[in-house]
Structures are given as structure tokens and as C-alpha cells.
Amino acid sequence: MLRRATADQAITSQQLSVLGSLEPGPRRMTELAAEHGVRLPTMTAQINRLERDGLVERGRDGSDARVVTAALTAAGRERLAAGRAQRIGFLAERFAGLTDEERAAVAAALPALDKLFAAP
């Protein structure tokens, strides 16, 4: 549903997710691939597109120069913030259409959903 609602963005939902993974700081390409459940060549292609668009920059790991890292650029942070704002706006609009009882039911389900989707 969120993917359809944000289909007009300049980047894909998956690319937005990669930007979110880079928000705390530079990450190794292998870590990003593992986190997103893709192979390294697939993540490399994603980073190539994001780098081409000026949203990510490549670097090297300080402890091992062979290791390639990816980091957000200022433009990448702006795109991430804009993507999040669009998604939050969409969800806020949807929640506004719920009754008080329906919102309470969603709130009551959040702890179970958090447990269900928590990383092992």
C-alpha cells in the first residue's frame, strides 16, 4: 500500500529503505546486502544508482582499505526525509479516516506486531 502511495517518488521504496539503513552512518556493502536480504551484486547495483543520483557516496573502511562502504550525502538525507514525510502523511490521512474504536484496535495490536516483526 505504501509502495503504491509513493510510486511517484524519484526513487524506489527499496532504495529509500537503503537510504534509511545508511542514516546512522557509513555501512559496509556486505552488511547492507545482508540486512536487505539481497546478494552483494544486487546491493552494488542499488548503490550505483543512488551514487549516480548523488544520494550516496562510496568510501573505504578505516580498518581495512579493501572494504567498500556507502554513506548518505546531504542530498540523500533530504531525499530520505522527504520520502518519510510523504509516507507519514499518507498514513496520517488513512488513520484520520478510522473511528476512535478502530484506532484503539490498531494501537492494541502494536505490541503483538512489534513482537512478530522484531529481528530474531
pLDDT in tens, 34-64: 999 999 999 999 999 999 999 999 998 778 8
What is the pTM (predicted TM-score) of this model?
0.80
Q: What is the pLDDT of residues 77-100, one digit of tens each?
A: 999 999 889 889 989 999 999 999
Given this model, what pLDDT does residue 87 score? Answer: 87
**Is residue 118 predicted with pLDDT exceeding 70?**
yes
Asked if 79 and 15 count as a contact pair (C-beta separation under 8 A), the reply is no
Q: Which residue has better confidence, 117 or 119?
A: 117
Given this model, what pLDDT does residue 43 score? Answer: 96
Q: Rounded to 10 degrees, what is the CA torsion of 6, 12, 13, 16?
A: -110
85/54 Cα distance (integer angstroms): 20
